[in-house]
Amino acid sequence: MDLLLLEVPVRVLNSNWTFFSALYANITLRDTGTLFSSNEMPLRGRPGRVKCARMHREPLLQLIDRYVERHPGEADTGRRVKDFVVRNADCFKRSLEAGHITGSAWIVDASGKRTLLTNHAKLNLWLQPGGHADGESDVLSVAMQECLEETGLKDLKAVTSEIFDLDVHGIPERKGEPSHFHYDIRFLLQAGEDEEYVVTDESHDLAWVDMGFLEDYTLEWSMRRMRDKAIRHFS
């Protein structure tokens, strides 16, 4: 497990435990080597070094902070995603039934004028490609891999490593899987000159769509929000 070391006196933890227990799932006192869950933290102890099992989430938390700085109008969504990541050490795992982090991407062609959409096989909606993190905390890598697998494109690059869009949306119950939330981390990818795609069993179909005609495929608000951001970026 990756660990973040913080110098925090135990007396500070004791007096601020509500704050720390909300922030960190497990705390270890280096001077005793004892692992405590949030409901087992001793009320007294000597000052010591505290290990916080959060390092694997830190890069994403920093990305979210920078995203909110660039898009203050989306601060509520940013806080919701950040709170979920902070409170759930297993946020990248599909086994977290209440919800989990997913990675997706708005893919544009070489000209920056069209986007590649997938007609999702399970949801029967036109969406951007993406999928589950399955434990991987590098969400840009997740988005890139999912897009390569779902589209068959041979040449994809990240326009930037920063988050392009954030969204939280509900997934309906199906075949023994309870309803839950996807905390979707979205990136901007660009295809090369070879635009030939391959339809897999993840999709009913794929289509390069002129961004000016996106509404012919979907009226979903976050899709239109990504379209508008992409147009601004490439104009």
| 12 and 113, same domain (yes or no) | no
* Whole-angstrom distance, CA of residue 170 vs CA of residue 99: 9
The answer to whether position 25 is within a domain reads: yes
Say yes or no: 23 and 97 in one domain. no
The SS3 of residue 126 is: strand
Within this chain, do residues 41 and 87 fall inside the same structural domain, yes or no? no
In a domain, 70, yes or no: no
Element (H, E) at 171: strand 165-171
18 pLDDT above the threshold of 90? no
Same domain as 115, residue 170 = yes
Q: pLDDT exceeding 90 applies to what percent of the chain?
A: 73
- Name the pLDDT band for 29 (thresholds 50, 70, 90): very low
Buried b (16+ CB within 10 A) or exposed e, 92-122: bebeeeebbbbbbbbbbbeebebbbbbbbee
| Residue 75 lies inside a defined structural domain of this protein | no
Express each pLDDT in 86-108 by its tens digit: 999 999 999 999 999 999 999 99
Instruction: Find all residues with CB under 8 Å of 102, minimum gap 6, and list them.
Output: 130, 131, 132, 133, 142, 182, 183, 184, 185
Same domain, 11 and 85: no
Partners of 153 in the beta sheet? none
* Residues 32 and 141 grouped into a single domain: no
**Confidence class for position 53, pLDDT limits 50, 70, 90:** low
pTM of the model: 0.79
Question: Does some domain include residue 62?
Answer: no
Residues 38 and 146 in one domain: no
Domain residue limits at 161: 81-234
CATH of the domain at 124: 3.90.79.10
Predicted confidence band of residue 122 (pLDDT cuts 50, 70, 90): confident
d(CA 107, CA 148): 11
Q: Which amino acid is at 165?
A: D
DSSP state of 179: P
Both 47 and 88 in one domain: the answer is no
Do residues 205 and 126 share a domain?
A: yes
Pair 99, 156 in one domain:
yes
Biggest CA-to-CA distance, the chain: 65
Domain count, the chain: 2
Residue 66 inside a domain? The answer is no
Q: What is the pLDDT of residue 165?
A: 98
* 158 and 119 within one domain: yes
101 and 189 inside one domain? yes
* Domain-embedded: residue 64: no
**Is the residue at 209 inside a domain?**
yes
- Measure the CA–CA gap between 139 and 135, rounded to whole angstroms: 10
Per-position b or e across 172-205, b if 16+ CB within 10 A of its CB? eeeeeeeeeebbbbbbbbbbeeebebebeebbee
Q: Is residue 176 part of a domain?
A: yes
